Chains A and B, each alone.
Chain A
């Protein structure tokens, strides 16, 4: 298992100048340690913070940037149990997960109180302090769910592909009827209350490599209409367009793979257009107000370990003696010989007058005609074109090497 080092560095060209963010990770087996530096000015663009972390086979420690955001995170685990602790802005969150009696799988304690989660046969339950919770009964073609939180309640029943959901606060105020089949989806939602009655129709259809969707509202609420289309062509080309009565939902994006490694794309969101060019090692992104380039690298260091070597005896018999005539000084050419069964053996023709080959077994061979790319600019001829190798004997083979003559352009 090699020791691995991952490094990344990202340079942002903002209006005021250039700012850097960078990080590294050192990894060996299940052990890893890393750090990253992200200037505060970049936190909005980078969506991650400065931090350090250590991963071991028994647990992890993060400070700064953690899997749950900015703060401090500790995880300790065994084969059966895991305890996670997260601390942020004087508030903590601690979770146990594992297997226990009554199907209890998870217990969380945070600033909101206690939460317990478990599964027993077809039942799944979530219980929270303050009388909140969720109870679900699930079978392949039927599921029933009831949920209650501080401010609202929700009930749902699913029979095959149809789901009916009812929502409410103190009293019932919304209903949704949803149908799902493969990639297709359709729902109808009504919301009633003091503002009156509002209806929303939503549909999503998957047609081969295209997906179209739309949302149509009726009523007095200012719910926007939305219409969109996405095209995915075997992952090579991806395009998406969405329009709406609200500017917030007007987006467009497109990307295309250039060869096996580069992907370039354009993206439009409410802020503006963004350009991205991506490679496993490089990522370039630009917007009207900033430009960034990110470089990643992965180093592998092989460990010097004591290895058990296998001593191999090299057999001289049979021996092929190649005598090169013509040009003795030339690049090495990879040639091939074919035995009587059609098996191919490589023979490297090196520079020099004499060379001895011991790697071919006994048999009769014919030279494969060299391709133009085998010896570019040279002619290689064999005399004879077939030879036989026998034990105890040295077989001579003459190879004529000549530089190809180019045509003369008379002026």
Chain B
């Protein structure tokens, strides 16, 4: 039986000819306690990023800071650490001279790139992962009577939010097909002041959305309508 190119055998051949998409990517370093953290302005000024090395060789980890909000010099974190083999380390960070203004940084975590080499055993494919951990510090609305300034815009089964105030805002968003009839589970919302809008995907039959913050304040929207 002669097997010609094409069909399932051709697909198998492709599997052998194109190994790259199937090559597993081994994480060189991984972040264990989330890719976003928020410290309130009346809380602690120090936090930690927990890093883990699952390899049996030590790793040098680089931490590069990019400012998202406010001044970068108010934030301090070691920029280069050595992770021992099969080790976990807590990298402390500090918000220096804390104030009530909203601050945010993005810490890019990566390992130095290795030399790409071809060995006698075949081709070596080096992959590099870079984690972006967003760290925020600022004030939430402290009083129920504080004014919340947010914009909300319906799209095609999406709702885009933007915080135009000076305080961070946390809320729980409930999509509804009719008033009192949820069309899906609650969605957590965290809005950073002055940041570009964030869009959330809504279930297909959503006609109403109700956002409730920790003070119990509620914002209701009707699909295709704009309100706040």
Q: Which residues of A contact B (CB under 8 A)?
A: 7-9, 11, 17-22, 37, 39-41, 260-261, 279-281, 295-302, 307-314, 316, 332, 334, 346-348, 350-359
Contact = CB atoms under 8 A, between A and B. Distances in A.
B84 A312 contact: yes
Interface string B61-77: 01111100000110011
Lowest 8 CB-CB distances: which A-B pairs, in order? A9-B16, A355-B79, A358-B78, A297-B19, A7-B16, A309-B88, A280-B122, A9-B13
Contacts of B77: 356
Given A9-B16, A280-B121, A355-B80, 19 more contacts: A7-B15, A18-B4, A20-B5, A260-B120, A261-B119, A307-B54, A309-B86, A309-B88, A310-B84, A311-B88, A311-B89, A313-B90, A314-B91, A346-B60, A352-B72, A354-B73, A354-B76, A358-B80, A359-B78
Given A280-B120, A299-B24, A314 B19 contact: no
Given A301-B24, A357-B80, A314 B90 contact: yes
Given A22-B16, A309-B52, A332 B9 contact: no
A310 to B, nearest CB: 5
B3 interface: yes
B80 A347 contact: yes
Given A22-B12, A358-B78, A359-B80, A353 B73 contact: yes
B17 to A, nearest CB: 5
Contacts of A19: 2-4
A314 B92 contact: yes
Contacts of B86: 307-310
B97 to A, nearest CB: 14
B72 A18 contact: no
A4 B120 CA distance: 19
21 contacts: A8-B16, A17-B4, A18-B4, A18-B5, A20-B5, A22-B12, A37-B3, A39-B2, A260-B119, A281-B123, A300-B24, A312-B87, A314-B89, A332-B64, A350-B62, A354-B76, A356-B77, A356-B79, A357-B80, A359-B80, A359-B82
Nearest to A42: B2
Interface of B: 1-5, 9-10, 12-13, 15-17, 19, 22-24, 26, 52, 54, 60, 62-66, 72-73, 76-84, 86-92, 112, 118-123
Contacts of B13: 9, 11, 20, 22
Contacts of B123: 281
Given A346-B60, A348-B62, A298 B122 contact: yes
B65 A312 contact: no
A18 B90 CA distance: 58
A53 to B, nearest CB: 18
Contact of B88 (A260, A312, A356): A312
B118 A261 contact: yes
Contacts of A300: 24
Contacts of B80: 347-348, 350, 355, 357-359
Contacts of A312: 83-84, 87-89
A383 B23 CA distance: 46
Contacts of B1: 39-40
B16 A295 contact: yes
A350 B89 contact: no
Of A307, A316, A358, the most chain B CB neighbours within 10 A belong to: A358
Nearest to B26: A302
Contacts of B89: 311-314
Contacts of A309: 52, 86-88
A52 B92 CA distance: 55
Contacts of A297: 16, 19, 122
A300 B26 CA distance: 10
Nearest to B73: A354
Contacts of A8: 16
A212 B112 CA distance: 54
Contacts of A307: 54, 86
A265 B104 CA distance: 62
Nearest to A328: B72
Contacts of B23: 299
Nearest to B118: A261
Contacts of A348: 60, 62, 79-80, 112
A20 B1 CA distance: 11
A301 B24 CA distance: 7
A332 B16 contact: no
A40 B1 CA distance: 6
Given A39-B2, A352-B65, A295 B17 contact: yes
A334 B79 CA distance: 13
Of B2, B24, B54, B91, the most chain A CB neighbours within 10 A belong to: B2
B200 to A, nearest CB: 32
Contacts of A17: 4
A302 B52 CA distance: 16
Of A281, A298, A300, A314, the most chain B CB neighbours within 10 A belong to: A314
B2 A357 contact: no
A332 B112 contact: yes
A357 B79 contact: yes
Given A18-B4, A299-B24, A356 B120 contact: no
Contacts of B54: 307
B188 to A, nearest CB: 28
Contacts of A358: 78, 80-81
